[in-house]
Amino acid sequence: ERGKGLETGLGKDEVCVMDPSDFPKLTGVRAGLMSRKSHDLMSKGEAITILCVGESGLGKSTLVNNLFSLDVEKSAAESVLPTLHMVEKEVKFLVDEVPFSLKLVDSPGFGDTLDIEYSFNTITHYLDDQFEKMLSDEMSVRRLEKTRTFAGVDVVLYFIAPHRLKGLDIALLKRLHHRASIIPVLAKADTMTEEERMEFKQVVKQNLATNGIEYFHEPLCVICSPSAVISKVNGAVVLGRDYEWGTAESELHSDLKELRSIIIGEGLEDLRSRKASLYEHYRQRKIIARNRSILGRVFKIGFNIALGTALVLFVQNGGLEMIAKQLEELNKKVANKKLIKNSDGKNSKRK
């Protein structure tokens, strides 16, 4: 007999409730998940798309080289977008044995052209186009792996000249901050003293807050060098610049390490989350606009159908004959009025 021999000591309608402490402890789950994530990381790697914005001569390419410890110009496959005057460079390398894919987008410095508005639109149109590609890919039946790898811009490194934040910077940042995550980069920090750096950081933060400009991370001061030098302090080979008073080291005397940690370290997932949030806002706006357009077209088609149906019913119910009779009666009335006028005119002449 099924269940025979099981002594529970419970009545017919009683339920056995176990104490949580009686459940067996699960072990090894965390290790398994970490192992899976580690395997995916080593096999698939990481990817990031960086857009560099700022006036010419602030060391945009040099900073990227210093961040990833490689020469992007020599390693990257370059593609120029002639319609936008943007340059995309893609390069793959290893970071601490992790495969890494980088897409670097270099925008024209807005001192390179006389038309500032054109330079601004070039950058904003590029960012909008990236979101549009993401939306198009999302709605496609078959999606390309490369499109998903470099979907959208993860971060905008906005370069600001030392000692001065210009009105042009604020005007462009207002257009960019709701399109991508922005990290203000205070370039050539070796031209400022420690006190000047701190003061300039506060000036930039205050101006951004006053103008309602959101940023992913507070301004970072960077010192970049196209080549390694021998430190005058300890004789070590370091990235930096030599001066009579000593060596300005990129890693030691600037925020280069912190910026690297944000971009390819602990801040990478936060950048992706922020990009997903911005894309979601773009997607909602686009879908709402498309739905309104569809509703407008449906209303127009429905109106035309209703109008056509009404005309058919009007004709079937003798509407045309009715109009013809009314026109005939109207013509008779007009003719009678003319006769009356003519007769009155003749009578007045006789008198």
Tens of pLDDT along 6-33? Answer: 455 555 556 566 666 667 777 777 778 7
The angle subtended at Cα 65 by Cα 259 and Cα 125, nearest 5°, is: 75
More confident residue, 292 or 172: 172
Tens of pLDDT along 111-168? Answer: 555 678 888 888 999 999 999 988 888 877 666 655 555 678 999 999 999 988 999 8
**Cα–Cα distance between 351 and 344 in angstroms, integer?**
11
pLDDT of the residue at 75: 65
Structure tokens at 22: 């009686």
Span of 62-71, 96-105, 160-169, 322-331 with lowest mean pLDDT: 322-331
Structure tokens at 72: 């992007």
Structure tokens at 69: 């410890």
**Cα–Cα distance between 316 and 304 in angstroms, integer?**
18
**Cα–Cα distance between 148 and 279 in angstroms, integer?**
14
Tens of pLDDT along 172-224? Answer: 999 999 999 999 999 999 889 899 999 999 999 999 999 999 999 999 999 98
CA dihedral (45, 50, 56, 58) in degrees, to 10, reads -70
pLDDT of the residue at 232: 65
pTM: 0.72
Location of structure tokens 């429905």: 302
**Cα–Cα distance between 251 and 239 in angstroms, integer?**
7
Tens of pLDDT along 62-92? Answer: 898 888 888 877 766 655 554 457 888 888 8
Structure tokens at 111: 């001192």
- Average pLDDT value for the chain: 80
CA dihedral (232, 233, 237, 243) in degrees, to 10, reads -40
pLDDT of the residue at 308: 73
pLDDT at 307 exceeding the cut of 80: no
Tally DSSP H helices, then E strands, for the chain. 10, 10
Location of structure tokens 């990227």: 64
Tens of pLDDT along 214-234? Answer: 999 999 999 988 877 776 666
DSSP annotation of 303 reads H
Structure tokens at 105: 């987008």
**Cα–Cα distance between 89 and 84 in angstroms, integer?**
15
Average pLDDT estimate for 289-317: 70
Average pLDDT estimate for 268-296: 85
pLDDT of the residue at 309: 77
